Chains A and B, each alone.
Chain A
Amino acid sequence: MLTVFLFLPAAGALMVALLPRERSHEAKWVALAFSALAFLTSIAVFLRFDRDAVGYQFVDRFEWIRAGTAGFSIQYVVGVDGLSAALVLLLGLLTVVSVLISWNIEARTKEYFAYLLLLETAVAGVFVSLDLIQFFLFWELELVPMYLLISIWGSGRKEYSAMKFLLYTLAGSAFMLVGFLMLGFAAGTFDIAALTAQPPTEALVPLSLIFWAIMLAFLVKLPVFPVHTWLPDAHTDAPTAVSVMLAGVLLKMGGYGILRIALPILPNEARDFRVALAALAAVSVIYGAIVTLQQKDLKRLIAYSSVSHMGYVLLGVSAMGALGLSGAALQMFTHGAITGLLFVMVGLVYDRTHTREISEMSGLIHRMPLIGTVMLVAGLASLGLPGMAGFVAELTTFLGTLEAHPAATIAGIFGVVLSAGYILWMVERVFHGPPTERWAGLTDATAWWERTAMAALVLVILAVGIYPALLTETIAAGVAPIAQIVGAA
């Protein structure tokens, strides 16, 4: 089933690409159909996931490259635990939303939707791969469609931003590959489950170096201070759907990598550096929030808020306990839905105003009550209002980290105050105030695809916020073994 989920979008991409030129307007329907099928598959995975069972589920495996003389082999192996099951669901949902929100794309539609679907396969590959080399391949594959999507369909300094994104990630993943190879040669296998069960005790270079080599790639992706500056540029210049994917699922590759690879395979090293990680997290949260307060561009503002919010993921990780790790995992899911929705809304605003300068907007809610209301809902979720998804994740993180890192946790809680500041100030400037002449002609979100995209995400945010048990049990099933490994000192 996972293999189906993994390659269904790629098949869709192929089919979109093969559409004859005169039928290129059907590309979006094909893309919608394939992403919807993939979404249904991800729902099935999530629902049929057995939360009481131990180990990976829905495993497909075959030998891919056998290198008998070298003593190792590279295999194709996919499977999910509670952690990846949740992220797979998020990916399925956000891809459908991304396709919907791209309904108006006019230029080179075939290529656009093909790349979007290819992106889903690449990210899915990261979430379900259980072999380091395979993980790495999908990790790199994701760059191709992203680079093209930003540099062709983006705006502003799109080539610069796309190149920056590409180089930043490549620089990180070069270290990651070295780290993976060292681990693999030391242990004689690239199988993640095997490595987790029996982590190598020594390698060519000190394990702590390998840990940081791998972490570098993940921290860039997350991103945390000071390796975050690619994110605002990439977001600002990317088309809406790409921002949704970027904030919603691509950043989660970083957090996922930490939880799946860095922590369980190098638990002692992770524990050794927990204070450093907590410090990085606290700085990211506060620094990100303060810089967010300064932003004059609506999309940049949301982008910087991601730096702050992803800091909570690292904070949860840094405590190396079950609750903190659960908080981190929950935060990945909820941030994906919430920030995804925020970018959807920013996109809808931009489609109408053709500007992202906050100072040029005022009183937009008078013309766009629905967009304004949903933006407020997304904003409130982002600032951690109880009853919405973000609160559960942040609370769990704080409960799990206070004992291990009191100062960093208190800094994290202060970040919640700052987030209220930047969100409400943004809402005040953009949506409140008297209606103005300039924006008198704007229309609200009336198209079915706009409304469906908004409704789906609002529903998820409220559902998880009101009844967190929908998600917590699955997450707990995924986190428990990881916590057992890193928690046992």
Chain B
Amino acid sequence: MLLPAIPEAAVWAIYLAPIASFVAITAWVRRSALWSGQLTIFAIALAWALSLWALDTSIGLDGEPSDFAPHLWFSLFDLHVELGIRLDGLSAVMIFVVTSVSLVVQIYSTGYMHGDGGYARYFAFMSLFTAAMLGLVMSSSLLQLFVHWELVGLTSYLLVGFWFHRPSAAAAAKKAFIVTRFGDFAFLVALVMIWVKTGTFDIGELNELAHGLSPAVLAGFTLGLLSGAAGKSAQFPLHFWLPDAMEGPTPVSSLIHSATMVAAGVYLLARFFPAIEAAPSEVSTTIAYIGAFTAIFAASMGVVMTDIKRVLAYSTISQLGYMVMAIGLGGYVAAVFHLFTHAFFKSLLFQGSGSVNHATHTFDMRRMGGLRTVMPITFWTFVIGSLSLAGVVPLAGFWSKDEILLDAWKHNRLLFGVGVATAGLTALYMFRAIFLTFFGEYRGGEPPEHGHSGPPHESPSSMWAPLVILSVPALTFGFWAFADFGGFVEGAIDPSLRHFEGVKTESVVLVASLAAAFGGIGLAAAIYYYGTPAADLLRSRFRPLHALVARKYFVDEVAEGAVVRYALHRGGGRLLSLFDTYLVDGVVNGVGRGMRRLGDGLRRVETGQLQAYTSLYFLGLVIAVLALLVFGSDLLER
């Protein structure tokens, strides 16, 4: 601990600084757009500096929660909603990740978004996103977390649809929001239910109270969290919004859809890890299997994508699956550690793809090639990120992936096998991407939207400098494992659940994971560098399989086509709409018409003719007398 303990106000300032820049840009700065980038960078740099202080303080406390008292937001009868900060090992790491990646991405954005008509709007949204994400990870209450959870969803919507004049971008934005909200439905039910059962939203209290709850309630609660996490972190079957979200500007993908927001689901599960552990074991098993299936399922699609950003998107889904699997296997530390390292190298890879796009104006790898020589910085940093992702020793990704595999080896050999196979696929698709993009002959790119196209060249310093900066964590951050990263993040959970014993590995795990990594790299080199066997040959040999994977296992078709279009829209919805118009409203109009007819009929009775009235009078009299005769005099006495 180098500094005195951070005061609560300074932690709030981490959150408020980007909010201030959002408000300032929206209110004034947008008129002089260029300042909006500088202001955002300044605000987030401030937040980043403070996050180091927070991290320092938290390390001094061994990751145990700080004792900041919450503040009342509003209260109604039994409901007392409080806002507060929970600073512990887990949130301190997350705050550091969010501010660090965001800062680098903002610098990168000043280059990537240069000259865009919506420059100020872009930085306003980026500021808002950073604030919302920070609010999410530092919340002391579940409700406060949920509020920010929805706000990051909003900013993701705004940024995916940033170029809303493109119908594909507008559709992708809407899809991202609605699919994640579908996951949030069960999350919200869980949130409401747990308050009804416990009367509190406080995260620490909920984790403590978990043991006292009935298994059914706890299972419902944790499965609700899983549903929310599956939406946000793009886990099967709610994964299919994330690849489409690549319609957003690349720095957005780099920040939101790789490093931070999509990791929020994993964070949520880690945050409530004690509750998950207390829940019936089927919950953990479900979480582990969903994660493992997502990991290998998404990795398989990564192998066949031709769009470099989509390769990275599927890779992100797959790696998030890894983390979710780790949580399910009880590997809290492993999950958080992988989240931590992944944030940096995946952000690096996305920015690398953006740099390539800057040069070639395309994301289609079939139109790239040979960029190694003209873009050396992009190339080398991309290789570093890929090696880290593939899990090559001693880069950051190796250490964190190894811990997950170790947990799997200890608890579930089947999932260990899935994990190793996924690792092999990961190495394969990343190096496929590298060979297609950076090796061979340049295949022409695409003409830019404006201006003329020259030969590809390295990106400006505002873009390559961030790549260089991010390679450092991609190379080295794994070593934090040796400085008791595990013990630190375990400070956030109950002492009885802490079982991290320092960096260990098993030779089987080590051999399997490295074999998978080098095997994948070797296979990629064989096919995409040496051409034996040739990719085309393989494609035609396995045509049905390739088609199935390339069409993304038809999940989009099922979800959008069958569920949304037919069940909700064309079929059921149309039916209800017709029901509304013809039956519900028809009855109303029918009653109206009936009344008018009745009026017409009655008018005919009132003819004004004395004869008619008299005959009706006698008719009534006859009926009355008959009634008396039939029913007797009881009728009168009643």
CA A231 to CA B184, docked complex, whole Å: 31
Interface of B is mostly: helix
B588 in contact with A164 (CB, 8 Å): yes
CA A293 to CA B577, docked complex, whole Å: 9
Which residue of A has the minimal Cβ distance to B574? A294
The interface residues of chain A lying within 8 Å CB-to-CB of B566 are none
The interface residues of chain A lying within 8 Å CB-to-CB of B170 are 428, 432-433
Q: Which of B570-616 contact A (CB under 8 A)?
A: 572-574, 576-577, 580, 584-585, 588, 592
CA A427 to CA B170, docked complex, whole Å: 9
Known contacts A399-B196, A434-B165: A417-B178 contact under CB 8 Å:
yes
CA A155 to CA B203, docked complex, whole Å: 54
A290 in contact with B585 (CB, 8 Å): no
A380 in contact with B154 (CB, 8 Å): yes
Known contacts A399-B196, A420-B181: A323-B76 contact under CB 8 Å:
yes
The interface residues of chain A lying within 8 Å CB-to-CB of B181 are 416-417, 420
> B146 interface residue, CB < 8 Å from A?
yes
A468 in contact with B74 (CB, 8 Å): yes
Which residue of A has the minimal Cβ distance to B564? A421
Known contacts A396-B79, A469-B73: A226-B185 contact under CB 8 Å:
no
CA A287 to CA B79, docked complex, whole Å: 30
Known contacts A287-B576, A290-B573: A410-B189 contact under CB 8 Å:
yes
Q: Count the B residues whose beta carbon is within 8 Å of the partner chain — how many?
A: 48
Known contacts A323-B78, A428-B174: A226-B584 contact under CB 8 Å:
yes
A385 in contact with B165 (CB, 8 Å): no
CA A363 to CA B170, docked complex, whole Å: 10
Q: Count the A residues whose beta carbon is within 8 Å of the partner chain — how many?
A: 56
> B244 interface residue, CB < 8 Å from A?
no
> B177 interface residue, CB < 8 Å from A?
yes
CA A385 to CA B165, docked complex, whole Å: 24
Q: Which of A363, A399, A424, A468 contacts B174 (CB 8 A)?
A: A424
A432 in contact with B77 (CB, 8 Å): no
CA A229 to CA B75, docked complex, whole Å: 37
Q: Which of B76, B151, B157, B171 contacts A476 (CB 8 A)?
A: B76
CA A380 to CA B158, docked complex, whole Å: 12
Which residue of A has the minimal Cβ distance to B175? A424
B176: shortest Cβ distance to chain A, in Å?
A: 10
> B495 interface residue, CB < 8 Å from A?
no
A318: shortest Cβ distance to chain B, in Å?
A: 16
A394: shortest Cβ distance to chain B, in Å?
A: 9
> B568 interface residue, CB < 8 Å from A?
yes
A117: shortest Cβ distance to chain B, in Å?
A: 31
A469: shortest Cβ distance to chain B, in Å?
A: 4
B75 in contact with A433 (CB, 8 Å): no
CA A59 to CA B51, docked complex, whole Å: 56
B75, B166, B192, B573: residue with the most chain A Cβ atoms closer than 10 Å: B192
The interface residues of chain A lying within 8 Å CB-to-CB of B177 are 420, 424
The interface residues of chain A lying within 8 Å CB-to-CB of B77 are 322-323, 326, 476, 480, 483
The interface residues of chain A lying within 8 Å CB-to-CB of B572 are 290
B185 in contact with A413 (CB, 8 Å): yes
CA A450 to CA B403, docked complex, whole Å: 60
Which residue of B has the minimal Cβ distance to A326? B76
Q: Which of B154, B165, B185 contacts A414 (CB 8 A)?
A: B185
> A472 interface residue, CB < 8 Å from B?
yes
The interface residues of chain A lying within 8 Å CB-to-CB of B195 are 399
A425 in contact with B174 (CB, 8 Å): yes
B165 in contact with A291 (CB, 8 Å): no
B432: shortest Cβ distance to chain A, in Å?
A: 35
The interface residues of chain B lying within 8 Å CB-to-CB of A322 are 76-78
The interface residues of chain B lying within 8 Å CB-to-CB of A164 are 588, 592
The interface residues of chain B lying within 8 Å CB-to-CB of A225 are 584
A402 in contact with B73 (CB, 8 Å): no
The interface residues of chain B lying within 8 Å CB-to-CB of A366 are 165
Q: Which of B69-84 contact A (CB under 8 A)?
A: 73-79
Interface residues of A (CB under 8 A from B): 164, 167-168, 225-226, 228-230, 287, 290-291, 293-294, 322-323, 326, 363, 365-366, 380, 385-387, 391-392, 395-396, 398-399, 402-403, 409-410, 413-414, 416-417, 420-421, 424-425, 427-428, 431-435, 467-469, 472, 475-476, 480, 483
Interface residues of B (CB under 8 A from A): 73-79, 143, 146-148, 150-151, 154, 157, 161, 164-167, 170-171, 173-174, 177-178, 181-182, 184-185, 188-189, 192-193, 195-196, 568-569, 572-574, 576-577, 580, 584-585, 588, 592
**A413-B188, A416-B185, A467-B73 known; 18 other A-B pairs, CB under 8 Å?**
A322-B78, A363-B165, A386-B146, A386-B148, A386-B151, A387-B151, A392-B74, A399-B192, A413-B192, A416-B181, A417-B178, A420-B177, A432-B164, A433-B165, A433-B167, A472-B75, A472-B76, A483-B77
The 6 tightest CB contacts between A and B, nearest first, are A432-B170, A386-B147, A294-B577, A229-B585, A468-B74, A432-B164
Can you name 15 A-B pairs with beta carbons within 8 Å?
A229-B588, A291-B576, A322-B78, A386-B147, A399-B79, A413-B192, A416-B181, A417-B184, A424-B178, A432-B161, A432-B164, A432-B167, A434-B166, A469-B74, A476-B76
